[in-house]
Amino acid sequence: MASTSDFRNGLTLEIDGQLQTITYFQHVKPGKGGAFVRTKLKNVLTGAVVEKTFRAGEKVTTVRLERRPVNYSYTDGELYYFMDANTFEMIPLSADVIGEDQLKYLKENMECEGLVHDETVISVDLPQFVELAVSETDPGVRGDTAQGGNKPATLETGAVVNVPLFIEIGDVVKVDRTEDKYLTRV
């Protein structure tokens, strides 16, 4: 348990059964009435942001979240299995826990980071930059454009990103997963 005087950015609380992280807080002492604390809370799982006001001195339940390395192993069609790098246990996770935006970059043996609460992995974060082979793209023809140009390329995981014309099938490219953006050829 913690008091409102213990609030700081990044502190994770359990409110109404939901894990919320404090992204902003402000202690307010009005001229009339009791002091209070204004906060912006971000849901750990959904990312939704809400504003909540607490009375000064109010007690809240704090939660300790831990980050652990996990490696993606395989999928059985419904669940995605990750191996905890510390305990070597297999952790099954559903597609909605991982997120559609991350699934299109998920590759076997990829090292990821698991967010752990009460010895249970509640979410997985892939690395921001991933290296994947190009499995399908149109041939680039020299002189097609005046300033270089881009063409769509399908990567080995099924993700589609725009790449320069000189990239060919089989090339390994580095991609910024958060922006779906080509960075460089590896």
Alpha-carbon distance values, 179 to 53, 66, 118, 132 (Å): 34, 26, 32, 15
Structure confidence at residue 87 (pLDDT): 87
Structure confidence at residue 119 (pLDDT): 85
Instruction: Pick 143 or 32 by higher pLDDT.
Output: 32
Token pair in block for residue 156 = 């080995």
Judge whether 2-62 and 66-125 match in fold.
no
Burial class (CB within 10 angstroms; exposed 0-12, middle 13-18, buried 19+) of 100: exposed
Asked if pLDDT for residue 148 goes beyond 80, the answer is: no
Query: Strand order of the sheet with strand 12-15?
Result: 2-3, 59-62, 12-15, 18-28, 36-43, 49-55
Asked if pLDDT for residue 145 goes beyond 70, the answer is: no
Q: Domain 129-185 belongs to what topology?
A: OB fold (Dihydrolipoamide Acetyltransferase, E2P) (2.40.50)
Q: Which helix (H) or strand (E) holds 92?
A: strand 90-94
Average pLDDT over residues 61-84: 92
- Domain locations in the chain as residue ranges: 2-62, 66-125, 129-185
Structure confidence at residue 71 (pLDDT): 95
- pLDDT, tens digit, 9 for 90 and up, residues 85-138: 888 999 999 988 888 888 999 999 999 999 988 888 888 999 999 999 999 998
Q: Domain 2-62 belongs to what topology?
A: SH3 type barrels. (2.30.30)
Please provide the CATH number assigned to the domain covering 66-125: 2.40.50.140
Average pLDDT over residues 150-178: 92
Q: What percent of the chain has pLDDT over 90?
A: 67
Give the residue from 73, 62, 127, 123 showing the smallest Cα distance to 95.
123
Asked if pLDDT for residue 34 goes beyond 70, the answer is: yes
Whole-model pTM: value is 0.76
Structure confidence at residue 20 (pLDDT): 94
